[in-house]
């Protein structure tokens, strides 16, 4: 099982471009589809982006064109570059490892503890 630890959140301003990181432990990281999800207060957790072991990516419509997911298999790390942040991007962001070899169908193998991103206007 992959253990995940997110970092890089905090209080940011609208329009800022923070980058989240997710450090993974475990020898199987490079074989997993990895992804980011987010959960705003009072809302369900939702998909943000995913990336295959060889770099193919998928995005939620709400972030397409603004967020970029990437990974460094040598460092066991997946990233989420967030550009042009909006107030509605405020949420706890979670890293996840997929048990399925799919960008869009998920069986969560591991969750990180989450990192809060708060966007002020």
Reported as a pLDDT band with limits 50, 70 and 90, residue 1 is confident
Whether the per-residue pLDDT at 5 is higher than 90: the answer is yes
Read off the pLDDT of residues 20-39 as tens digits, 9 standing for 90 and up.
999 999 778 888 999 999 99
List the structure tokens of 89: 């991007």
Radius of gyration of the chain (CA): 13
Task: Give 68-110 pLDDT, tens digit per residue.
Answer: 999 999 999 999 999 999 999 999 999 999 988 899 889 998 8
């Amino acid at each position: 099982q992959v253990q995940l630890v997110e970092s890089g959140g905090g209080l940011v301003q609208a329009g800022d471009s923070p980058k989240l990181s997710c450090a993974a432990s475990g020898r199987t990281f490079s074989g997993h589809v990895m992804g980011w999800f987010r959960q705003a207060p009072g809302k369900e957790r939702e998909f943000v982006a995913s990336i295959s072991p060889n770099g193919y990516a998928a995005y939620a419509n709400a972030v397409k064109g603004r967020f970029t997911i990437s990974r460094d298999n040598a460092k066991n790390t997946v990233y989420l570059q967030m550009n042009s942040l909006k107030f509605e991007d405020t949420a706890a962001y979670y890293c996840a490892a997929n048990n399925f070899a799919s960008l869009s169908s998920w069986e969560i193998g591991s969750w990180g503890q989450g990192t809060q991103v708060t966007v002020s206007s």
